[in-house]
Amino acid sequence: MNEVAQSALAAPVGTISLWDLFWQASFIVKLVMLGLLGASVWTWAIIVDKTLLYGRFRRQLNKFENVFWSGQSLEELYHNLSERPASGMGALFVAAMREWKKSFEKGARSPLGLQTRIEKAMDVTLAREIDALESRLGFLATVGSAAPFIGLFGTVIGIMTSFQAIAASKQTNLAVVAPGIAEALLATAIGLVAAIPAVIAYNKLTSDAGKLGNRLEAFADEFSAILSRQIDEKTSR
């Protein structure tokens, strides 16, 4: 009787801060929590990085399109761009122009082959650019779908451990049970905290990347049409 009362009083009622919950957890639960925390950190790193990258990319596209449609000669533009590594539309343009120049400098006279080669070169560059845009988005998808399960795993393990402890101490006092369950639930909480932003960001970023990719593809098609017309003009002479 008195023992129960004393243990109830002695139970750690006040020590349930986040840190205490983490520190009192079992090894596996700690591991799960740390892993989820790392995943969350990486998720947010990707989100920040991609948001900045897409902004930059979009600005570059706008700038290039302005320059491209300003009536500047393609040769001049190529000279300006080829001096430094370009990205986005610039890279597409440089790749196409490089292939064009190589073909004419060597005096190859097969217009069909030239057309095909230019398109291939542009395809490769396009694929690389889109890859760069969409890189690491897969991690967000993984975190978004897997983090809740990982957190749940931690919770199950934690509750299992605390029930074993209850069975060992032969007390059903809520003050004895509660801390273990609280720390177990913390794992699920961290899992959800990591997963929710990951899912939202994944949807947003993939749609953004898709839009940018479409713009690149449209430009590639347009540019290849321009080059094709040029080839026809040169060969028909």
Partner 1 sequence: MKTGLAASAAIHVAALTWGMWSLSSPHPLDATYSEALPVEIVMGDTFQGVKGEKTAPIREKPAPAPTKKPQTLPMPAENVGDNEADLKTPPVPEVRPNRSETQAASAPPPPPPPPAKTEPAPKPAEPVAKQEPAPEKAPEPKAEPKPKDDPIEEMIADAADSKPEEPTPPAHVPVPVKKPAAPAPQQVAEAKPTPQPSTSKQTSSSKTQADQSSDSKFNADQIAALLSQEKASGGGAKRSTEPAALGSRETTGSVLTRSELGELQGMIKDQMARCWSPPTGGTGADSVKISIKMELDPSGTLQGMPSIVSGGGGSGVERAAAEAALRAVRRCSPYNLPADKYQAWSEVTLNFDPSEMY
Binding footprint of partner 1, residue count (CB under 8 A): 29
Cα distance between residue 176 and residue 91, in whole Å: 65
Q: Does 17 bind partner 1 (CB under 8 A)?
A: yes
- Applying CB under 8 A, among 28, 30, 31, 42 the residue interacting with partner 1 is 42
Cα four-point dihedral sign 116, 118, 123, 124: positive
Q: Pattern of binders to partner 1 over 79-98, x per CB under 8 A?
A: --------------------
196 part of the interface to partner 1, by CB under 8 A: no
C-alpha triplet 61, 202, 187: angle, nearest 5°: 150
Secondary structure of residue 134 in the 3-state scheme: helix
Chain positions 159 to 178 lying near partner 1, rule: CB under 8 A, are: 173-175
Based on CB atoms, which residue is closest to partner 1, 50 or 220?
A: 50
Q: From CA 237, how far away is CA 218, in angstroms rounded?
A: 29
Q: Least separation, in Å, of the C-beta of 18 and partner 1?
A: 5
- Cα 86 from Cα 163, distance rounded (Å): 61
123 contacts: CB under 8 Å, gap ≥ 6: 220
- Alpha-carbon distance of 114 to 120, in angstroms, equals 10
Looking only at residues 49 through 78 of this chain, which bind partner 1 when binding is defined by CB under 8 A? 49-50, 52
44, 54, 78, 153: which one binds partner 1 (CB under 8 A): 44
Binding site for partner 1 (CB under 8 A): 1-2, 4-5, 8-9, 11, 13-14, 16-19, 37, 40-50, 52, 173-175
